[in-house]
Amino acid sequence: MSLGRPRYRDRRQAGEVLAERLTAYANRPDVVVLALPRGGVPVGYEIARRLHAPLDVFLVRKIGVPGHEELGMGAVASGGLLVLNRGLVQSLGITEPVLREVVTKELRELDRREQRYRQGRPPPSLTGKTLILVDDGLATGSSMRAATEALRQLGPAKIVVAVPIAEPETCEEFRAEVDEVVCAATPEPFLSVGLWYEDFTQTSDAEVEELLHRAREELAGRTIRDPVQPADSREESTP
């Protein structure tokens, strides 16, 4: 099948391409890159290292239709926020007890991942920050929408949604929902996120943990090598 444009090699390469669209946010102390696990983390890692920004995760779990889990009818996010496509739920005749069971299951998995990825570290303070919210692609946008609604309650200064590939209509919808949207490519026909990657292997928990650890180490290393000097000190060293 010919897709009409080159595909990304993998999520890391997609992050490199996307970072080129975000250079205005480089070296800014107010910027935090938040990746949606798991697939958004390799993308976010490359963005964070090129922008010299901290990388963290914001957890969202898709609520799949029972028996057809690939079809999302909503999502849950950190803090217990639930976003549902009520029209789809009603049209499929999904009862409240069934819905409650699926939501409870996903909340348990969200809590498990939260504990594993953070390993006792508290979530970062996001109030007043510029948040670059990253995933490996946008299809229906339910997971990203749940994340943006939850993050808005934390009082950030700005929310930027950034993805390497997106369904064109979904990308446009987000322009009315957040402060800025960066979709590196919006092909038509879109079909699915995975078709636009040569390697779309599922990201593992271990890879998420490794990339978060590596991002913290690299950011700490840059801070040590290039400490910020007080203004007086910089003036005295000027020839």
pLDDT tens digits for range 95-119 = 999 999 999 999 998 888 888 898 8
Distance CA 90, CA 31 (A): 40
Distance CA 59, CA 113 (A): 8
Q: Which residues pair with 138 in a beta bridge?
A: 166
Q: Which residues pair with 61 in a beta bridge?
A: 76
Tell me what the mean pLDDT of segment 215-228 comes to: 73
In the chain, what are the domains? 11-218 (3.40.50.2020)
- pLDDT tops 90 at residue 193: yes
Residue 194's pLDDT band (cuts 50, 70, 90): very high
Token pair for 29:
């102390």
Distance CA 50, CA 31 (A): 12
Q: Are 181 and 153 in contact (CB under 8 A)?
A: no
Residue 141's pLDDT band (cuts 50, 70, 90): confident
pLDDT tens per residue across span 148-159: 988 988 899 999
Residue 223's pLDDT band (cuts 50, 70, 90): low
Give the alpha-carbon dihedral of 146, 149, 150, 156, to 10 degrees. Answer: 140
pTM for the whole structure: 0.81
- pLDDT tops 60 at residue 232: no
